[in-house]
Amino acid sequence: MAESIDESGSQGSPIRAKKGILTKQTFAAFELRDFRLLWGNNFSYALVQGIQRFAFVWLAGDLSKENLVLGLVTFGLGISVFFLTLPSGVLSDRWDRRRLLFLSQFWVLATSLLTAILIWTGAMGVPMAIGMAILIGVGVAVGQPVRQALVPAVVPQNRLMNAITLNSLGQNVSQIIGPLIGGAAIDIWGNGGGFALQAVLMGIGLIFLVPLKVPEAERVARIGRQLLKEMMGEIREGFSFVKGAVDIRTLFFLLLASSLVIMGPWQALLPRVAEEQLGAEAFQTGVLFGAMGVGTVISSLILASIPRLENAGGWFTVTLITGGSLAVGIGLSHNYLLTVLFMFASGLNAGFFINLNLTLIQAHTPSDVMGRVMAIYTLVLMGGSPFGGLMAGGGAQLIGAGEMFALSGAAVAIVASVFLVTQPTLRRMPSHPEEQEERASG
């Protein structure tokens, strides 16, 4: 399966790290043809997402000055994840993952174009914006666990952390470019232009999926009631694995804390904080996100150059503490340049946080439950943020956007500090088990 894939289908020799930040090890996974194709698709998709979140929150800000509306739109964009991610994870373990991914992305393309048309025709209002956010979220919810499960399907274990960080690197470059071109598109063509641009970029991403080869599912799905019964049983199997693996369970809990208390407020409130406290327009707000993306690219390159990291679980927990502390600074800052620096530092930190969390989960998860575990990962990561955004919007209505942003950061830093002190096995958790490295190298 994944162990037998390279440029033409064989694994090739393992790549060892050399001195320096950028080495052959840094880009090892790019030797694999199917990973390159998947990376290209993920890059364009992440570019769309970088524009998408920014465009929806900016649209909501134009439609209403109520902070609660920002939370409602963010909630609409992510709530579908809560209902559709787990069934999608089961399907990704049984059916053609490439086809599932293609269909989910085509759905996002169509609904993004429809959103642009509604804006251009003057039919867009707050209820319609929430409705379109929900529809676009359906495609994201179905496709995300499939996308996550495809990486270990086309990459051998000894290159998994490298592949994950390179994948994240592409996504983070997209996060630099996305808000910048999204903000520019909105300034030039209005909100409708921002959504039309998303549709075009999503279409480009679909081209990469056509030649992609993915290992076939090992089981054939039945139909009707039997399929539903099997799906429910397999979803329970995924949760049972997470519940039974103590360190994996802790990683998911900390990810949930981040999703609820950091990511939700980040998506819902940061554009409003930039507008109210810094006087930033759409493009200037995009520059803030771009500064964060630059930082994330740098830390992702550093992590991609490391073949194996001891005590990765401890470093992961430290990044959550650091991220919460930086969020406090961003929420309280009234200086644009200082906020740019805080965003850059947050990006440096986020590159380690995101990549280490996903690497630790995937490297310690058996392949036969990978799709379901990645569905739970998506549920926690993306399903928690809409509720966090909704709570953040309500809190901002009471105490202000900046103050709520800072309070959220302080809360997650405290929670992570408790886990760092009380969970010694998590602190010692390596990036991937040593015996897997030996098998892949032999």
- Residue 146 belongs to domain spanning: 21-441
Which residues fall within 8 angstroms of residue 321, CB to CB, at 6 or more apart? Answer: 413, 416, 417, 420
pLDDT at 188: 86
pTM over 0.85: no
pLDDT tens for 160-171 read 777 877 887 787
CB 214 within 8 A of CB 98: yes
Domain assignment of residue 12, yes or no: no
Q: How far is CA 304 from the centre of its chain?
A: 17
pLDDT tens for 209-262 read 888 887 665 444 444 455 556 667 777 888 888 888 888 888 888 888 888 888
pLDDT tens for 39-96 read 888 888 888 887 888 888 889 888 887 878 877 887 888 788 778 777 777 777 677 7
SS (H, E, C) 16-35: CCCCCCCCHHHHHHHHCHHH
CB 87 within 8 A of CB 231: yes
Domain assignment of residue 138, yes or no: yes
Domain assignment of residue 5, yes or no: no
pLDDT confidence tier of residue 30, bands split at 50, 70 and 90: confident
CB atoms within 10 A of CB 241: 18
Number of domains in the chain: 1
pLDDT tens for 352-377 read 888 888 888 888 888 777 777 877 88
Domain assignment of residue 407, yes or no: yes
Domain assignment of residue 15, yes or no: no
Domain assignment of residue 6, yes or no: no
CA–CA distance from 1 to each of 155, 214, 218, 296 (Å)?
Answer: 9, 9, 11, 31
**And the tokens for 200?**
């075009």
Domain assignment of residue 3, yes or no: no
pLDDT at 120: 94
Residue 269 has pLDDT above 70, yes or no: yes
With 0-12 / 13-18 / 19 or more C-beta atoms within 10 angstroms meaning exposed / middle / buried, residue 246 is exposed
CATH number at residue 102: 1.20.1250.20
Domain assignment of residue 149, yes or no: yes
